[in-house]
């Protein structure tokens, strides 16, 4: 893409006329300008960062260098005395006064952190240098066949014992698991998946609290059922995302491929989804809508896609960086932000990036 083409696309983007494909072309073009591992961000923000020499903040932190900070922190966002402007202005305009940003104490990003346990029994902290555990019906190991040691699962070969297991990620943690039927599950931060050591009978049933992405192995004779916060999802083989955090009053199920049927509440209300649809259940009722699935599953690909309210975005950031987010009373938590930011940068970097998208926000980190 030459300079004139990029300029034309940027003008279309400012006017809100870009197609999804053109938007992706624009981000890709700016991603190739400098560091290849840079977090994708708004074109205008990147232009400003180039001018003030801040591109070094985009470098990813190697997973092996990550460390965990266990102290509780309070992330305070305070609005400056600026009117709330339109989404486009917030996204595309950046102030030259970078002094408005209050440098935060460094908090490293989350990583591969999870606990494997027998429900009601012993537990084991999983290796942070690994990413995935695999159950094949006879034993459980890491994806590279390294055995998981230190957790008694009953017999030497637990294929004869049907056990209820749990994979739990803390705030700042993520992990993957391949279940005994070949179904793959990605767990986001602060989530728990309960599942049997093998699937017996005419169905495959698991339970999720938090957020997970499922790639379900096809088995027409045994439907796959996911229980989450008062709803049940039935599939035969598909890919979908479930967000069912206990501290949120809604459960969201988003379908990428295949088809699913949901049953919600004591009334047994049923609803079916096709790819690109999202079901939202709350207090026993359920609705569905068409959505852009990209931002919803961005966490699985290693980045935050900012395409929603400040409150929802900061909730994601709070879980990943293990911080408590507090909004001062003069902050409009419903304000919309748009952009893409890697999950592999430090907290101080991600706050700087958000500040470059909207200079009307200030951030500080306090330990309490």
What is the per-residue pLDDT across 82-118, written as a single tens digit (0 to 9) for each? 222 222 122 222 333 443 333 445 788 999 999 999 9
Q: How far apart are CA 210 and CA 319, in angstroms?
A: 11
State pTM to two decimals: 0.71
Q: What is the CATH topology of the domain spanning 111-292?
A: Jelly Rolls (2.60.120)
Of 163 and 236, the one with more pLDDT: 163
Whether the Cβ atoms of residue 241 and residue 222 lie closer than 8 Å to each other? no
- Give the pLDDT confidence of 125-151 residue by residue, as tens digits: 999 999 999 987 668 899 999 988 877
Helix (H), strand (E) at residue 304: strand 303-309
- pLDDT score recorded for residue 266: 67
State the Cα angle at 162 between 156 and 164, rounded to 5°: 105
Residue spans in the chain of domains classed CATH 2.60.120.1440? 111-292
- pLDDT score recorded for residue 349: 85
- Indicate the pLDDT class of residue 192, thresholds 50, 70 and 90: very high
In sequence order, the 6+-apart residues with CB closer than 8 A to the CB of 156 are: none
- Indicate the pLDDT class of residue 309, thresholds 50, 70 and 90: confident
**310 token code pair:** 């400040």
- Give the pLDDT confidence of 260-278 residue by residue, as tens digits: 999 987 667 889 999 999 9
- pLDDT score recorded for residue 340: 84
CB burial class (10 A; 0-12, 13-18, 19+) of residue 309? middle
- Indicate the pLDDT class of residue 29, thresholds 50, 70 and 90: low
Of 69 and 254, the one with more pLDDT: 254
- pLDDT score recorded for residue 2: 58
Does 186 score more than 50 pLDDT? Answer: yes
Q: Rounded to 5 degrees, what are φ and ψ at 174?
A: -150, 150
Whether the Cβ atoms of residue 47 and residue 86 lie closer than 8 Å to each other? no
Can you tell me the mean pLDDT for 231-243?
93
Nearest to 115 by CA among 212, 214, 193: 193
- Indicate the pLDDT class of residue 367, thresholds 50, 70 and 90: low
Q: How far apart are CA 59 and CA 345, in angstroms?
A: 7
């Amino acid at each position: 893409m030459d300079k004139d083409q990029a300029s034309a696309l940027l003008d279309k983007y400012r006017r809100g006329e870009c197609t999804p494909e053109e938007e992706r072309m624009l981000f890709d073009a700016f991603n190739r300008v400098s560091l290849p591992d840079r977090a994708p961000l708004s074109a205008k923000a990147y232009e400003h960062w180039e001018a003030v020499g801040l591109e070094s903040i985009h470098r990813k932190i190697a997973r092996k260098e990550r460390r965990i900070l266990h102290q509780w922190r309070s992330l305070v966002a305070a609005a400056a005395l600026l009117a709330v402007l339109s989404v486009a202005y917030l996204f595309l305009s950046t102030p030259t006064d970078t002094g408005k940003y209050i440098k935060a104490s460094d908090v490293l990003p989350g990583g591969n952190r999870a606990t494997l346990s027998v429900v009601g029994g012993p537990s084991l902290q999983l290796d942070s240098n690994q990413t995935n555990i695999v159950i094949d019906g006879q034993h459980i190991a890491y994806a590279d066949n390294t055995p998981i040691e230190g957790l008694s699962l009953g017999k030497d070969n637990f294929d004869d014992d049907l056990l209820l297991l749990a994979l739990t990620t803390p705030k700042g943690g993520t992990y993957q698991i391949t279940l005994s039927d070949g179904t793959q599950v990605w767990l986001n931060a602060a989530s728990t998946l309960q599942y049997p050591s093998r699937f017996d009978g005419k169905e495959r049933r698991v339970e999720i609290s938090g957020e997970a992405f499922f790639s379900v192995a096809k088995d027409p004779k045994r439907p796959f059922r996911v229980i989450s916060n008062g709803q049940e999802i039935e599939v035969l083989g598909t890919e979908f995302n479930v967000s069912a955090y206990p501290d949120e009053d809604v459960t969201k199920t988003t379908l990428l491929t295949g088809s699913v049927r949901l049953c919600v509440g004591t009334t047994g209300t049923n609803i079916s989804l096709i790819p690109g649809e999202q079901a939202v259940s709350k207090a026993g009722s359920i609705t569905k809508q068409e959505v852009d699935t990209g931002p919803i599953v961005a966490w699985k690909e290693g980045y935050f896609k900012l395409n929603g309210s400040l409150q929802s975005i900061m909730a994601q950031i709070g879980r990943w960086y293990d911080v408590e987010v507090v909004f001062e009373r003069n902050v409009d938590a419903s304000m919309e932000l748009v952009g893409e930011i890697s999950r592999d940068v430090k907290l101080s970097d991600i706050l700087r990036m958000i500040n470059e998208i909207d200079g009307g926000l200030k951030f500080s980190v306090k330990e309490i």
